[in-house]
């Protein structure tokens, strides 16, 4: 058993909606190694964000509810913690960045004030110490004239700069883990390149572990060391990044990679498309949730949901079928 700094076991989260109970996360287990960058990939509604929000105790209840599971972080179960206890973990030992830098900052407080807050709250710095540290942090994420710009309000910053501020804020208390939920999705490609570059540099300097949630398989390829692919609230494939892109095993991963055009492609070929659409699970599925869209599906797929099976070195996939032969594994 490797030494995980975050060990998640059997996480299940549901939401009560007028149409019924939606099973958003259905027994997700994974570990995060120290200093590792873990990519979590999937389409909207696959449960990737809900998984992380559940771990951080940020699921609004009601309508949401973490039904089962553990998330062990430095010997303690985050799921069992009280609101007060987990507040001392969030922002201090686990930092977070969210998708939309426009709405994650308070528009009526200066950037400086927002950066100082966690420093005073979690580390107990004085106002002056926090001010100084905030300027250092802004400079660290590459904002010129950091000291003067502390007095600016968020609307005076561009989208890319606001995301830099979010990163500075998430890293302000030197967390062991940084959870980034689609941090570059709202940004243009040239700005996205700036941000991913910044994160890589900071990761090498500060050595924190990163969980990078995204729907963009391109971004993950350049950042992550290990990747989890999610579908219908399950982890359906897990592998080292090179292995996953070189030999994807789950039909969904194969389809997802095939449906992407590439800027470096030579020949123009028809895109592989996965017919149908992702499910909304009103019941915990008995069968494989991908079976209705899968062209390899066999009888067993409709009867039993496959667990993660070992398919190679450090490579697991939740599929009954060996796609190379079309036969049962």
Partner 1 sequence: MATKELNKNEVLLHVDDLKMHFPIYRGVFQRQVGAVRAVDGVSFDVKRGETLGLVGESGCGKSTTGRTILQLYKPTSGAVTFDGTNLVTLKGEQMRQMRRKMQMIFQDPYASLNPRMTVAQLVGEPLMVHSAATGAEITERVAHLLELVNLNPAFATRYPHEFSGGQRQRIGVARALALQPSFIICDEPISALDVSIQAQVVNLLEELQEQFNLTYLFIAHDLSMVKHISDRVAVMYLGVIVELATRDELYAKPLHPYTQALLSAVPIPDPVADAKRKRTILQGDVPSPANPPSGCRFRTRCPIAEAVCAETRPEFREIRPGHFVACFFAERFL
Restricted to residues 10-49, the positions that interact with partner 1 (CB under 8 A) are 43-44
Tell how strand 20-33 and strand 4-17 pair up.
Answer: antiparallel
In whole angstroms, the minimum distance from the beta carbon of 25 to partner 1 comes to 18
Q: Which of 2, 60, 124, 190 binds partner 1 (CB under 8 A)?
A: 190
CA pair distance 92, 258, nearest whole angstrom = 40
How many helices (H) and strands (E) the chain has is answered by 11, 14
Buried b (16+ CB within 10 A) or exposed e, 10-37: ebbbbbeeeeebbbbbbbbebbbeeebb
CA pair distance 78, 296, nearest whole angstrom = 39
Q: Which of 128, 271, 283, 313 binds partner 1 (CB under 8 A)?
A: 271
Whole-number Cα distances in Å, 5 to 8, 30, 58, 196? 10, 11, 20, 23
In whole angstroms, the minimum distance from the beta carbon of 288 to partner 1 comes to 16
Tokens 């966690």 correspond to what residue? Answer: 118
In whole angstroms, the minimum distance from the beta carbon of 79 to partner 1 comes to 29
Supply 318's token pair. Answer: 């939740």
Q: Which of 24, 177, 274, 288 binds partner 1 (CB under 8 A)?
A: 274
CA pair distance 13, 18, nearest whole angstrom = 17
x/- contact string, 207-246, with partner 1 (CB under 8 A)?
--------xxxxxxxx------------------xx--xx
CA pair distance 63, 132, nearest whole angstrom = 41
Q: Which of 124, 261, 299, 324 binds partner 1 (CB under 8 A)?
A: 261
The piece of 89-97, 102-110, 163-171, 265-273 that touches partner 1 (CB under 8 A) is 265-273
When asked if residue 202 is in the footprint of partner 1 (CB under 8 A), the reply is no
When asked if residue 273 is in the footprint of partner 1 (CB under 8 A), the reply is yes
Supply angle C-alpha 21, 69, 318, rounded to 5.
80
In whole angstroms, the minimum distance from the beta carbon of 189 to partner 1 comes to 5
Give the count of residues interacting with partner 1 (CB under 8 A).
Answer: 46
In whole angstroms, the minimum distance from the beta carbon of 57 to partner 1 comes to 28
In whole angstroms, the minimum distance from the beta carbon of 82 to partner 1 comes to 37
CA pair distance 237, 235, nearest whole angstrom = 6
When asked if residue 139 is in the footprint of partner 1 (CB under 8 A), the reply is no
Q: Which of 81, 193, 287, 298 binds partner 1 (CB under 8 A)?
A: 193
When asked if residue 158 is in the footprint of partner 1 (CB under 8 A), the reply is yes
Element (H, E) at 203: helix 189-206
Minimum CB distance to partner 1 smaller for 172 or for 214? 214
Contact residues for partner 1, defined by CB under 8 A:
43-44, 158-161, 188-194, 196-197, 215-222, 241-242, 245-246, 255-257, 259-265, 268, 270-275, 277-278
């Amino acid at each position: 058993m490797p030494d995980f700094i975050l060990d998640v076991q059997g996480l299940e989260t549901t939401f009560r909606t007028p149409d019924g109970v939606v099973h958003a996360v259905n027994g997700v287990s994974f570990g995060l190694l120290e200093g590792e960058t873990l990519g979590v990939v999937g389409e909207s509604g696959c449960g990737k964000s809900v998984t992380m929000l559940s771990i951080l105790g940020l699921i609004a209840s009601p309508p949401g509810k973490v039904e089962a599971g553990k998330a062990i972080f430095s010997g303690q179960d985050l799921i069992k913690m009280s609101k007060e206890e987990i507040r001392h973990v969030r922002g201090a030992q686990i930092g977070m960045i969210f998708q939309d830098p426009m709405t994650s900052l308070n528009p009526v407080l200066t950037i400086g004030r927002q950066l100082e807050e966690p420093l005073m709250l979690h580390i107990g710095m004085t106002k002056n110490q926090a001010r100084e540290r905030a300027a250092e942090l802004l400079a660290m994420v590459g904002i010129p004239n950091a000291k003067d710009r502390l007095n600016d309000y968020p609307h005076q910053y561009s989208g890319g700069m606001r995301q830099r501020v979010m990163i500075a804020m998430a890293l302000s208390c030197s967390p062991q883990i940084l959870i980034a939920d689609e941090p570059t999705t709202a940004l243009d490609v040239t700005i996205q390149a700036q941000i991913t570059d910044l994160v890589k540099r900071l990761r090498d300097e500060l050595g924190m572990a990163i969980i990078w949630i995204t729907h963009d398989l391109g971004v993950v390829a350049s950042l992550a060391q290990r990747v989890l692919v999610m579908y219908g609230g399950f982890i359906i494939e897990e592998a080292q990044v090179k292995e996953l892109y070189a030999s994807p095993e789950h039909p969904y991963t194969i389809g997802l990679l095939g449906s992407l055009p590439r800027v470096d492609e030579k020949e123009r070929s028809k895109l592989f498309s996965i017919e149908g659409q992702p499910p909304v699970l009103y019941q915990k599925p008995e069968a494989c949730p991908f079976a209705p869209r899968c062209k390899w599906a066999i009888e067993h797929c409709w009867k039993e949901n496959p667990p993660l099976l070992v398919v190679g070195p450090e490579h697991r996939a939740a599929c009954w079928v060996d796609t190379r032969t079309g036969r049962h594994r």
